[in-house]
A and B are shown apart, each in its own frame.
Chain A
Amino acid sequence: EVQLVESGGGLVQPGGSLRLSCAASGFTFSSYWMHWVRQAPGQGLVWVSRINSDGSSTSYADSVKGRFTISRDNAKNTLYLQMNSLRAEDTAVYYCARTDALSSSSRYYYYMDVWGKGTTVTVSS
């Protein structure tokens, strides 16, 4: 069964750090780009970060750039999100998601086809 399982969430004080993990199983993890997406309480989905299949390329939303770092360990089939200098507005459920793509006429149409159940991060004093 294709599965993603997040862990590492919890309560942290403003300015603190947390590292999230996402364990993948049931597919060849090293072949896929991966993302983190978050959802604040009662709000919509917000893309946070992505990493390519070998970890050599990353991108971040402006709201987390310079504070969050995405990484992966393909030998351990695990995706990470290191979150530093946390703020109250980082409070959210954090999901990891796998990216797949439709190839058509030399174009690649990317989409998030597998999602974890999420881990909750609460930033509060």
Chain B
Amino acid sequence: DIQMTQSPSSLSASVGDRVTITCRASQSISTYLNWYQQKPGKAPRLLIYAASSLQSGVPSRFSGSGSGTDFTLTISSLQPEDFATYYCQQSYSIFTFGPGTKVDIK
């Protein structure tokens, strides 16, 4: 089974900050990597698919990059509505989620 890890597990940031979250797969998954945002009590929301494709309706301050085993999600200028937990997910073999990265207010 493919295992996913994320770092950091949590971070504190201010509005306007550039935020980067890292996701690593236990084996190469090419670009079969998605990113989701989840707010408390809400369903996850797709942000990025195929490592770098922005889902329709998602602000352009979100971007994704990487291939193989190492991936990043970047928020170029953090907005108040971006405080949430972010999950990576591999779709190379079935689906596996990372443990999540919680982004909260500094």
The interface residues of chain B lying within 8 Å CB-to-CB of A44 are 87, 97-100
Interface contact A47-B55, CB-CB below 8 Å: no
How far does the alpha carbon of A4 sit from the alpha carbon of B77 in the complex, in Å? 32
The interface residues of chain A lying within 8 Å CB-to-CB of B42 are 117
Q: What is the distance, in angstroms, from A62's C-beta to the closest C-beta of chain B?
A: 8
How far does the alpha carbon of A115 sit from the alpha carbon of B36 in the complex, in Å? 11
Using CB atoms, name the residue of chain A closest to B31: A109
| Contact count band on B | 20 to 34
Chain B 40-74 near chain A by CB (<8 Å), digits 1 or 0: 00111110011001010000000000000000000
Interface contact A95-B44, CB-CB below 8 Å: yes
Q: What is the distance, in angstroms, from B38's C-beta to the closest C-beta of chain A?
A: 8
Q: What is the distance, in angstroms, from A35's C-beta to the closest C-beta of chain B?
A: 7
Interface contact tally, CB-CB below 8 A: 62
How far does the alpha carbon of A47 sit from the alpha carbon of B98 in the complex, in Å? 11
How far does the alpha carbon of A112 sit from the alpha carbon of B36 in the complex, in Å? 9
Residue B7 at the chain A interface, CB threshold 8 Å = no
Interface residues of B in 65-106 (CB under 8 A from A): 87, 89, 91, 94-100
Other contacts beyond A104-B50, A109-B50, A111-B50: 11, CB < 8 A: A44-B87, A44-B99, A107-B30, A109-B32, A111-B34, A111-B55, A112-B46, A112-B89, A115-B45, A117-B42, A117-B43
24 A–B pairs (Cβ distance < 8 Å), ordered by A: A37-B44, A44-B87, A44-B99, A45-B44, A45-B97, A45-B100, A47-B94, A47-B95, A47-B97, A50-B94, A95-B44, A102-B50, A109-B53, A111-B46, A111-B49, A111-B50, A112-B44, A112-B89, A112-B95, A113-B46, A115-B45, A116-B43, A117-B42, A118-B43
